[in-house]
Amino acid sequence: MFTYVVIVGNHTSTKTPVEYVAHIVYGEPEIQAVEVGSHFVALLTYFGEEQAKLAQHTVDRMGSFPHGARLFYENDKTGAMAEFGWQVAHYAPRTAVVNAVV
């Protein structure tokens, strides 16, 4: 079983987005994270039932973040990837999005 978490927040750390996210989440998920302007967007993948509990704790903790986190259960990788992509596009400078499409 896989559980996914998408986290968005202000990136004020000198660490890379992956290093930063590793310090603020529970457990040891697989982390994919990018810096978009002054924000980070992270997709976390938790494996197994015990890790799913840590995913829920992470989402509960991220309630204090202005942008929060979103939890995807039961192998909903498509939904998690869509949310991750939407958040990256949302925070990307508009010229970068236009140039990426062209």
pLDDT digits (tens, 9 = 90+) for 42-100: 999 999 999 999 999 999 988 777 778 999 988 799 999 999 999 999 988 876 554 55
Q: Count how many domains the chain has.
A: 1
Write the CATH number for 16.
3.30.70.260
Residue 11 identity (one-letter amino acid): H
Give the pLDDT score at 64. Answer: 74
Q: For residue 87, what are its two tokens?
A: 């958040």
End-to-end CA, the chain: 38
Structural domain including 31 reads 2-101
Coil, helix or strand at residue 13: coil
In whole angstroms, what is the distance from residue 79 CA to residue 18 CA? 21
State pTM to two decimals: 0.86
Dihedral sign from CA coordinates of 70, 84, 73, 79: positive
Question: Is-contact 36 88, C-beta < 8 A?
Answer: yes
